[in-house]
Amino acid sequence: MSLKRAQELPDAGIITEAGNAVDFKTGDWRTYVPQFHEENCIHCMFCWIYCPDSAIDVDTSGDKPQMKGILLDHCKGCGICATECPPAAKGKAALVMVREEK
């Protein structure tokens, strides 16, 4: 998003570009990052439905949706996905939270 001059702004705090928050990267808030272990993933989409930040990358082109990984631009590292991951209950977590290194 480019900065506008005062005269170019719309009136009364109207935001004309719908969904432009996608340009705002919240990924740098993160301390922990979910690590994706594809071999354990059952593609149940629980991480996708429970993610507060729309940060789960899913490929919906095929017959069955496929979990591809985490969108790190927006993931805040809350860990809800790793907590709700069903294979984690069987000790074969597809998502594991690890401290992010610089």
Partner 1 sequence: MALSLKEMVKHEDLLTGGHRACAGCTGANILRQIMLTAGPNTVMGGATGCMEVVTTIYPYTAWKNSFIHSAFENVAATISGAETAYRSLQKHGELPQAAADAERMNFIAFGGDGGTYDIGIQALSGAMERGHRMVYVCYDNGAYMNTGIQRSSATPFGAHTSTAPAGSVKQGKEQDRKDLTEILVAHNIPYVAQTTPFHWKDLATKVEKALSCGGPAFLNILMPCTVGWGFPMERGMQIAKEAVETNFWPLFEVEDGVYKINKKPKERKPIADWMKEQARFRHVFKPGNESMLEHAQQWVDQQWDLLLKRETMTNM
Which residues contribute to the site for partner 1 (CB under 8 A)?
1, 13, 15, 17-26, 29-30, 44-46, 48-55, 58, 60, 64-65, 71, 73-80, 82-84, 97
DSSP-assigned beta bridge partners for residue 56: 70
Rounded CA separation 51/57 (Å): 11
Shortest Å, Cβ 5 to partner 1: 13
Nearer to partner 1, 2 or 91 (CB): 2
Rounded CA separation 53/36 (Å): 17
Strands, E, within 1-102: which ranges?
Answer: 32-36, 56-59, 66-70, 95-99
Shortest Å, Cβ 38 to partner 1: 17
Shortest Å, Cβ 91 to partner 1: 18
